[in-house]
C-alpha cells in the first residue's frame, strides 16, 4: 500500500528505520510539519540481528517507546561471549530482542502519533536543488515522480548507498562489512537458551556468529563481518568480498552446539538474508545546506559488534536537535550537526580498533579466560556494553599486558 506525500513540509525525513523515525518523532513533537517517507509500506522486514543493547534502551526511553518495545520483546538476562576453546562469560546489561519488522513499526507509529505524516511507497530519487541549496526532494511513487518542497531534508536511508549517491553525499560506495541472518523456531531450545550469544572462532575469523532468542521461541541466527573498510582493503587480509557468508553460517552450525541444534531440530521461517553495514561514521558527507545525513547512511553502526540500532536513533535525534537549535541559519545547523557527530567519532574509532578481536579470535579466548577469573574484567566488559567503559582498552597492547598480570581484586 502506498500513501502519496504532500507537496510541502518543514522537514522531509527519508527512511523510516530507527534513525529516520527517531528524527521525525522528535521534530513532530516540537510542532514541526514532518513527512516521513519510505520506499516500503510498513510493517516491513529489515535484515538485522534484532538485538537491542543498552544504547537502544536509552534512546527508546528518550523517545517514550521503551515500555511498548519491552512488552513485545524477549528480554535477555545477559550477553554470553563464547570463544573457540569453549570458554564462556556472561556479561550483564540491558538486553532484548525484537524482530525489526515489529520494532521499526513501533517507531514509525510513534512518529505518526507525534504528528509526522508517513508516506509509504515513496523512493527518494534525487534532491531538489535551487541555487545550490537543497529545497526538497523528488520522490518516486507508483504514479510517477513527485516533487516535495521542504525547508530541510534528512536522509536516513541506511547502508544501501543509492540515495546517498543521488544526493551527492556518498564518499565511499563499498560497505564496511556484511552480515547474514535467518529465523528458526525451536520452542524446546527456547526453554534452555535465554541469553544472547556471540561466538568467536578461528573458523569464523574476521567475524563472529550470533544466536539471539526472540519472542515466541524464534531465534535470530547469523554471522557477520563488521569489518573496517580500511582493514578489509589491507594486502595481507582476505577481502571481505572473498568470504562466503553462507559457508560461514554452515561452519557456525558445525562448531557451535546450540547452532547445530537449531539447524537440526528447528523450523526455518523464511529465507536466509544478507545485508551491508556502514560503520565508524565514515563514508558519507554529513551535511550541506538544506540536507543532513543520519543513521547508518552516515556510518553510525559500530565496527567490531555491528550494533547500530541504538546509534541510528541517537544520530537521528542529534539531527533533529541540530535542526531545532539552528533555526533558519543553514550554516549553524550544518556546523552543529557535524560538530556533534565529530564528538562521537573517537568512540567509533575505538570500536574500529576493538575489531582486532574478530581478526584474532585468540584475543577473545584470552579475554574470556581472564574475565572468568577476574570480576573486574567482567565488570569492564559490562561497562563496554553500557558504554561507560572504553572497548579499545581491552584489546590494546597495554590492555592485553594487563590481562596477563596476576588477578588483583
Ligand atoms: C545481518 C545484520 C545484523 C545486524 N544486527 C544488529 C543487531 O543485532 N543489533 C543492532 O543494534 N544492529 C544490528 N545491525 C545493524 C542495524 O541493522 C543498523 O545499524 C540499523 O538498521 C541502522 O538503522 P537506520 O535507521 O540508519 O537504517 P535502516 O534501518 O536500514 O533504515 C533505512 C530505511 O530507509 C529506507 N530507504 C532506503 N533507501 C531509500 C530510498 N531511496 N527512498 C526511500 N526510502 C529508502 C529503507 O526502506 C529503510 O526503511 C545488523 C545489521 C545487519 C545487516
Q: Which atom of ligand 1 is nearest to the CA of 123?
A: 42
Binned at pLDDT 50, 70 and 90, residue 384 comes out as confident
pLDDT mean over 246-271? 96
Band (pLDDT 50/70/90 cuts) for residue 375 is: confident
Q: Rounded CA gap, 60 and 16, in Å?
A: 15
| pLDDT > 70 in the chain, percent | 90
CA of 296 to the centre of ligand 1 (A): 7
Q: Ligand 1 mean position to 147 CA, how many Å?
A: 25
For residue 376, what pLDDT is reported? Answer: 85
Q: 284: number of CA atoms within 13 Å, CB side?
A: 36
Q: What is the pLDDT of residue 305?
A: 83
Packed helices 309-326 and 54-63: angle between N→C axes, nearest 10 degrees: 40
Average pLDDT over residues 2-7: 80
Closest CA to 167 of 175, 157, 159: 157
Residue 116 near residue 3 (C-beta atoms within 8 A): no
pLDDT for res 367? 82
355 lines ligand 1 (CB under 6 A): no
Q: How far is residue 298's CA from residue 284's CA, in Å, rounded to a whole number? A: 6
Query: What is the spatial distance between Cα 11 and Cα 113, in angstroms, rounded to a whole number?
Result: 16
Atom of ligand 1 nearest to the CA of 157: 34
Which of 32-36, 265-269, 370-374 is least confident?
A: 370-374
Closest atom of ligand 1 to 124 CA is: 42
Average pLDDT, integer, range 245-262: 95
Which residue, 175, 150, 110, 168, is CA-closest to 317? Answer: 110
Instruction: Identify the pLDDT of residue 395.
Output: 58
Q: Is the pLDDT of residue 402 over 80?
A: no
pLDDT tier at 2, thresholds 50, 70, 90: low
Are the C-beta atoms of 199 and 323 separated by less than 8 Å?
Answer: no
Pick from 302, 405, 372: nearest CA to 91:
372
| The predicted structure's pLDDT at residue 67 | 98
User: How much is the average pLDDT of 54-77?
Assistant: 98
Residue 190, ligand 1, Cβ within 6 A: no
- Is the beta carbon of 381 within 6 A of some atom in ligand 1? no
CA 3–ligand 1 middle distance (angstroms)? 22
Residue 388: the pLDDT is 82
Among 24, 309, 320, residue to substitute to test ligand 1 (most atoms within 8 Å of Cβ): 309
Q: State the Cα–Cα distance between residues 371 and 389, nearest whole angstrom.
A: 15
Tell me: pLDDT of 403 over 80: no
The CB of 110 under 6 Å from ligand 1? The reply is no
With cell 552450525, the residue in question is 253
pLDDT value at position 390?
73
Distance 46 CA to ligand 1 centre (A): 6
Indicate which atom in ligand 1 lies nearest the CA of residue 21.
Answer: 25
Rg (CA), the chain: 21
**Ligand 1 midpoint to CA 89 (Å):** 29
Cα 278 to averaged position of ligand 1 atoms, centre (Å)? 10
Is the CB–ligand 1 distance for residue 15 below 6 Å?
A: yes
Please name the residue whose Cα sits nearest to atom 41 of ligand 1.
Answer: 124
- Give me the residue label for grid cell 502506498: 2
Atom of ligand 1 nearest to the CA of 294: 26
Atom 13 of ligand 1, nearest CA residue: 307
Answer whether residue 401 shows pLDDT above 80: no
Q: Can you give the pLDDT at residue 233?
A: 43
| Average confidence (pLDDT) over 35-55 | 97
Q: CA-CA distance, 356 to 377, in Å (whole number)?
A: 18
Instruction: For 178-233, write each residue's pLDDT tens digit.
Output: 999 999 999 999 999 999 999 999 888 888 999 999 999 999 999 998 664 544 44
Closest Cα to atom 53 of ligand 1: 275
Going by C-alpha positions, the residue among 143, 135, 177 that lies closest to residue 159 is: 177
Q: What is the pLDDT of residues 288-328, one digit of tens each?
A: 999 999 999 999 999 888 899 999 999 999 999 999 998 88
Predicted confidence at residue 243, as pLDDT, reads 64
Tell whether ligand 1 has an atom less than 6 A from the beta carbon of residue 181: yes
Q: Which DSSP string corresponds to 324-385?
A: HHHTT-HHHHHHHHHHHHHHHHHHHHHHHHHTHHHH-HHHHHHHHHHHHH-HHHHHHHHHHH
Using CA atoms, how far apart are residues 69 and 214, in angstroms rounded to an integer?
12
For the chain, give the mean pLDDT.
90
Going by CA atoms, what residue is nearest to atom 16 of ligand 1? 308
Res. 154 pLDDT band, cuts 50 70 90 = very high
With b for 16 or more beta-carbon neighbours within 10 A and e for fewer, the 174-209 pattern comes to ebbbbbbbbbbbbeebbeebebbbbbbbeebbbbbb
Determine the Cα–Cα distance for residues 332 and 343; give it in Å rounded to an integer.
16
What pLDDT does 108 receive? 98
* Ligand 1: nearest atom to the Cα of 212: 8
Contact 22, 317 (CB under 8 A): yes
67/375 Cα distance (integer angstroms) = 31
Taking the centre of ligand 1 as the mean of its atom positions, its distance from the CA of residue 144, in whole angstroms, is 26
pLDDT tens profile 76-107: 999 999 987 778 999 999 999 999 999 999 99
Does ligand 1 have an atom closer than 6 angstroms to the CB of 157? yes
CA 47 to ligand 1 centroid distance, Å? 7
For 159-172, what is each residue's pLDDT tens digit? Answer: 999 999 999 999 99
The grid coordinates listed for 57 are 534502551
CA distance 284 to 293: 8
Of 22, 42, 46, residue with least CA distance to 34: 22
180 Cα to the center of ligand 1, angstroms: 13
Q: Mean pLDDT throughout 332-357?
A: 90
Q: What is the pLDDT, as a whole number, of residue 83?
A: 87
Q: Which residue of 16, 38, 249 sits with most ligand 1 atoms within 8 Å of its CB, as the best mutation to test the pocket?
A: 38
For ligand 1, the distance from its centroid to the CA atom of residue 17, given in whole angstroms, is 6
Q: Any idea which of 34-43, 161-170, 370-379 has the lowest mean pLDDT?
A: 370-379
**pLDDT over 80 (residue 1):** no
Amino acid at each position: 500500500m502506498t500513501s502519496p506525500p504532500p507537496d510541502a513540509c518543514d522537514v522531509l525525513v527519508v527512511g523510516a528505520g530507527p534513525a529516520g523515525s527517531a528524527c521525525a518523532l522528535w521534530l513532530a513533537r516540537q510542532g514541526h510539519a514532518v513527512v516521513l517517507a519510505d520506499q516500503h509500506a510498513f510493517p516491513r522486514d529489515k535484515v538485522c540481528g534484532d538485538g537491542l543493547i543498552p544504547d537502544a534502551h536509552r534512546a527508546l526511553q528518550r523517545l517514550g517507546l521503551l515500555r511498548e518495545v519491552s512488552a513485545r520483546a524477549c528480554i535477555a538476562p545477559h550477553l554470553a561471549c563464547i570463544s573457540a576453546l569453549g570458554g564462556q562469560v556472561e556479561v550483564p546489561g540491558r538486553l532484548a530482542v525484537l524482530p525489526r519488522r515489529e520494532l521499526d513499526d513501533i517507531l514509525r507509529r510513534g512518529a505518526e502519533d507525534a504528528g509526522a505524516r508517513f508516506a509509504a511507497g515513496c523512493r527518494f530519487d534525487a534532491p531538489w536543488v535551487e541555487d545550490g541549496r537543497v529545497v526538497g526532494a523528488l520522490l518516486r511513487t507508483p504514479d510517477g515522480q513527485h516533487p516535495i518542497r521542504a525547508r530541510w531534508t534528512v536522509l536516513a536511508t541506511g547502508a544501501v548507498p543509492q540515495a546517498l549517491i543521488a544526493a551527492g553525499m556518498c564518499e565511499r560506495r563499498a560497505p564496511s562489512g556484511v552480515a547474514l541472518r535467518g529465523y528458526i523456531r525451536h520452542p524446546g531450545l527456547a526453554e534452555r537458551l535465554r541469553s544472547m550469544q556471540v561466538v568467536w572462532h578461528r573458523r569464523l575469523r574476521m567475524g563472529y556468529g550470533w544466536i539471539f532468542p526472540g519472542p515466541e521461541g524464534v531465534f535470530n541466527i547469523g554471522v557477520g563481518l563488521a569489518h573496517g573498510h580500511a582493514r578489509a582493503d589491507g594486502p595481507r587480509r582476505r577481502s571481505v568480498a572473498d568470504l562466503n557468508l553462507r559457508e560461514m553460517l554452515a561452519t557456525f552450525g558445525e562448531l557451535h552446539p546450540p547452532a547445530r541444534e537449531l539447524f537440526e531440530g528447528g523450523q526455518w521461517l523464511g529465507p536466509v538474508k544478507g545485508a551491508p553495514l556502514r560503520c565508524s561514521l565514515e563514508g558519507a558527507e554529513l551535511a550541506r545546506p538544506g540536507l543532513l545525513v543520519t543513521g547508518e547512511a552516515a556510518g553510525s553502526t559500530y565496527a567490531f559488534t555491528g550494533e547500530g540500532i541504538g546509534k541510528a536513533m541517537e544520530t537521528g535525534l542529534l539531527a533533529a536537535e541540530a535542526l531545532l537549535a539552528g533555526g533558519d541559519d543553514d550554516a549553524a545547523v550544518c556546523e552543529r550537526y557535524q560538530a556533534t557527530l565529530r564528538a562521537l567519532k573517537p568512540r567509533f574509532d575505538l570500536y574500529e580498533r576493538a575489531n582486532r578481536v574478530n581478526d584474532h579470535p585468540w584475543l577473545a579466548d584470552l579475554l574470556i579466560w581472564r574475565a572468568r577469573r577476574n570480576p573486574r574484567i567482567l565488570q569492564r566488559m559490562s561497562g563496554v556494553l553500557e558504554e561507560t567503559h572504553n572497548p579499545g582498552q581491552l584489546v590494546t597492547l597495554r590492555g592485553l599486558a594487563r590481562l596477563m598480570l596476576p588477578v588483583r581484586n
